Chains A and B, each alone.
Chain A
Amino acid sequence: MTLARWTLLLGASGLLILGVGHGIGLMSTPAEASMGETGRILYLHVPTAWVAMLAFTAAFIAAIGSLWTGGARWDLSMESGIEVGMVFSVLICIQGPIWAYPTQNYWWTWDPRLTTTAIMVVAFTGVLVMRRLIHQHERRMAATAVATIVSWVNVPVVYFSVEWWDSVHQDLSQVSSVDKVMLVPLLVSLAGTSLLGAAFFLARYRIALGHYQREEVAPELPDLPAQLELEDSP
Chain B
Amino acid sequence: MNGTIEGGWGYVMAAYGITWFAWAGYALSLWLRNRKESP
Contacts and interface: CB of A to CB of B under 8 A. Distances in A.
Interface of A: 11, 22, 26, 31, 33-38, 40-41, 44-45, 48, 87, 90-91, 94-95, 98-99, 101-103, 196, 200, 203-204, 206-207, 210-211, 213-214
Interface of B: 3-9, 11-12, 14-16, 18-19, 22-23, 26-27, 30-31, 33-34, 37-39
A204 B30 contact: yes
A101 B7 CA distance: 13
23 contacts: A11-B27, A31-B4, A36-B4, A36-B5, A37-B12, A44-B16, A87-B22, A91-B18, A91-B19, A94-B19, A94-B22, A95-B19, A98-B15, A99-B11, A101-B11, A102-B7, A102-B11, A200-B26, A207-B30, A210-B37, A210-B38, A211-B37, A213-B39
Contacts, number: 84
Contact of A207 (B5, B22, B33): B33
Interface of A (DSSP majority class) = helix
Contacts of A90: 22
Enumerate the 10 nearest inter-chain pairs by beta-carbon distance, A residue then B residue, closest first.
Answer: A210-B37, A38-B8, A36-B5, A37-B8, A203-B30, A98-B15, A36-B4, A95-B15, A207-B33, A41-B15
A204 B29 CA distance: 10
Contacts of B9: 37
Given A91-B19, A102-B7, 6 more contacts: A37-B8, A48-B19, A87-B26, A203-B34, A206-B37, A214-B37
